[in-house]
Structure 1
Amino acid sequence: MRAPNYYTHPGFERAGLRRREPDWIRERVLDPATVFIPVWRTQNLVIEIAESEPRAASITVEGLAAVFGALDDIDERLARGEFVFLGVIDERAHFALDVSSVETPLEMLRSPALAAAGIAEAAVRFADLRQLGARLERHEGALLAFSRAMLFWHSRHRFCGLCGNPTRSEEAGHMRRCTDPACHTMHFPRTDPAVIMLVTDGDRALLGRNKNFPVPGMYSTLAGFVEPGESLEDAVAREVREETAIEVAAVHYHSSQPWPFPANIMLGFYAEAETTDIAVDYNELADARWFERDWLASHADDDTFRLPRLDSIARRLIGDWLAGRADTPLVAKPTIKPGPRVSGSR
């Protein structure tokens, strides 16, 4: 068994039934043991000390009061989607906390608790999760990804898509309902499925270079969104055909990965090539080619060639294929360790 993909947290108890218990949710918001994970305009709060890798940062109700003042409007903040219940770790409730309405949240989050913990104020910042990636502990990255994805959804669904009236958050942030009594449409968080596949031909792998890749010389697996009325296997075959004109035969599932940029679920596959002549669709790709296994293993991330980022399922598909571990299952229950807090520490 191997570690799960980045941004997954199989050991996290989402406690879905608690979402419909408003009294319990209110009590958890005020509980000194509760953990709040701040998100400011899609950026997550992290701690970076000296040469150490970044860690996810969180606050308690003490820090919450520093941002919002008196907490006498919990129901209204829940209705706006500022608090989203994520679940429970070690009997401690975890919430995503939207501080986007505050222009300078760091000024409020920095507190004497930082000094007491030996953390310099300059070490705390809001950062783009995409720039942190695999530098974070896996379980911390998963919590930050979950928080980011939920609050992004809330920010894009403040109005009903059916009638245009405002919506309110319910079920501790996992549903929004239209406020028009004649409509009352319920809106739920969505995630868009995309297939991502490593196509192989014996000891060769098909990799492509997207026109929008920011890193020179980077090649990755092919990928694309699943269309309505299409199976995952059909989506794999169609995307490979459209982008490279390669036909695939057998398609094998590998694993999945939430990808909160902004709201995708990546479904990883291996596909065996039936044809091998490439015809690139230059509207989608800048290049596509076959790479020998030995060449990939010896040239990964050298001066002129790059593989995908370490936190991506694309890199996992390539790495497992190179190591001959394509059929090894992923672990389902990793060990959970609590991360640091920046204010209101107990």
Structure 2
Amino acid sequence: MAESAAPATIVVAGCGNGKTVAAYLWAKRWALGKKLFFAYPTTGTTSAGFEDYLLAQTHLERALIHGRAQVDLQAMIGSPEDDPFEAASRLDSLKAWGQQVIACTVDTVLGLIQNQRRGLFSAPAISCGAFVFDEVHNYDKRLFGELLTFLRMFPGAPVLLMSASIPPARLDALRRILGGHMSEVIPGEPELENRPRYRMESRSSPEECWPEVLRSLERGEKVLWVCNTVGDALKVLKHESAKHIPSLIYHSRFRYRDRVERQKDVLAAFAPTAPPCLVVATQVCEMSLDISAGLLITALAPLPALVQRMGRLNRFAEEGSSA
């Protein structure tokens, strides 16, 4: 990625390949003298990316920009609560003018296409920017269309698009828009991509999954159970077996401040030194959540979603380790 010879680069690589670190190496070349916008799909992944990679970089002029950034920054650094949020939204957008690196939600950049105030306020900074779009497989049809429009409006702008899986039709659309500005698609490291990580088995009902869950916990492993709806997740957590084991739930219906805290709880539960536990989650666990389970239980879902969920299983498998 760092050696890409074209301003537009697409990376399709599985979880655990180190795409985010490589993206900053790409930026060392292509964002030189420009403002770097690192665009994530959700507020949660944006704040996590800022905290993991930028918060401690005090030598950089950096900013976290999204609608709930004030809440997350308070949680990160323990500063007193400020308001009002509408004024903060405007000021956050203007902050981008003077920053070197901006971690933001994708609408901060593509809001320029949508004619949103945040995008319009940031327009001077965007016009001289370099852009990393992470998790592009997660864009819905409308948002992906706006990404294509943005790429058409800014031909030759340094752009890095990253995903674990991009459907062929969307990849073809990107190739048509980027044309000669684009290098060949960069795949993941073959040694990592082809490393045996998974042993897959099917069950006809959630009830049949519980014996394996309990055996995994007895082996000292962490278990991630992903459901397609909040209702199904609650049913799992209320199961009789779940009442006797360490467990927690993570989904999008928590109040935002509580959801931020719950995400921290999930990360702590999956720390290498943490005891075995069961985390029941919905699709919110699919994006930019740096956890590795010993057992994954998942409902059937579209293939891109399954790829993302499997990225939370045996994430850091080493050569010769068991699947």
Of the two, which has the highest radius of gyration?
1
Task: Please state which structure has a larger fraction of its residues in strand.
Answer: 1
Task: Please state which structure has a larger fraction of its residues in helix.
Answer: 2
Question: Please, what TM-score do these two structures have when normalized by structure 1?
Answer: 0.24
Question: Please, what TM-score do these two structures have when normalized by structure 2?
Answer: 0.25
